[in-house]
Amino acid sequence: MKLTTILMLMSLLLIGCVSNPTATTDARAAVGVTANADWTPVEDVKGGVAMVLVPAGCFMMGSDTGSGNEWPVGEVCLTPFWLDKTEVTQAQFVANGGEKARANRFTGDNLPVERITWFEADAYCREQRGGRLPTEAEWEFAARGSVGLVYPWGNEFVAENVVYDSNANETAEVGSKPSGASWVGALDLSGNVWEWTGSVYENYPYVATDGREDLTAAGSRVLRGGSWGNDDGLLRAAFRLGYAPDGNFGYVGFRCALS
pLDDT digits (tens, 9 = 90+) for 13-69: 333 333 355 778 889 999 999 999 999 999 999 999 999 999 999 999 999 987 779
**R_g over Cα of the chain:** 20
pLDDT digits (tens, 9 = 90+) for 88-115: 999 999 999 999 999 999 999 999 999 9
Residue 195: helix, strand or coil by DSSP? strand
Domain-by-domain residue ranges, the chain?
1-30, 32-258
**All residues at 6 or more sequence positions from 160 whose CB lies less than 8 Å from its CB, including other chains:** 177, 179
For domain 32-258, give its CATH number from 3.40.30.10, 3.90.1580.10, 3.20.20.100, 2.60.40.10. Answer: 3.90.1580.10
Do 175 and 255 contact (CB within 8 A), yes or no?
no
Q: Across residues 63-89, what is the average pLDDT?
A: 94
- The conformation of residue 1, written as its DSSP 8-state character, comes to -
Q: Across residues 174-179, what is the average pLDDT?
A: 98
Query: Going along the chain, which residue ranges are E strands?
Result: 43-46, 49-54, 57-61, 74-78, 81-84, 194-200, 221-224, 240-243, 252-253, 257-258
